[in-house]
Amino acid sequence: MIERAGTGWQTILADLSLILFMISASALRYEKEKPPEERASAQGEPLAFYEADAGAPPIGEWLAAQSPDERQQLTIVARYGPNGQARALEEVGRLAREAQAKGMPARIVVEPVARADDTGTSAMLAYDVPGAGMARDLLRDNKAKSNP
């Protein structure tokens, strides 16, 4: 008598893994085909966080205390409630000018929120400078330089 090998949970898990891989690869391919103006602004995981409130030091002092790196980008986010857009724009502009004076240009995000508890202005430093690339981009660039 010949025994049949049954299908177990390992086969199902392998199939699901392949499906997930194919969907992810397809999504990445689609994202790379989009023109730069249609891509969402990439935001990395924040390394340092600044909350602009009454007791906070000036953003210039906060930036001076951080470890500078050309791949880091400063993102200033202002969240405003009803009738607070003008004040939020003024605050984010002030912070951006202070950061620019310290040599750190800022990406600015201004967005409305529904709850008054969610309003405020903050800044984050993250490794998300557009075009700075990832390790695989550096490898590709090194190969291109060695093979003219």
Mind listing the pLDDT tens digit for each residue in 61-80? 999 998 878 888 899 999 99
User: 43 with 109: CB under 8 angstroms?
Assistant: no
First to last CA, the chain: 65
Which two tokens mark 146?
A: 């060695």
Cα–Cα distance measured from residue 30 to residue 120, given in angstroms and rounded to the nearest whole number: 35
pTM of the model: 0.61
pLDDT higher than 80, residue 55: yes
Structure confidence by residue, pLDDT tens digits, 82-133: 889 999 999 999 999 999 999 888 999 999 988 877 889 999 998 877 665 5
pLDDT of residue 9: 82
Q: What is the pLDDT, as a whole number, of residue 108?
A: 92
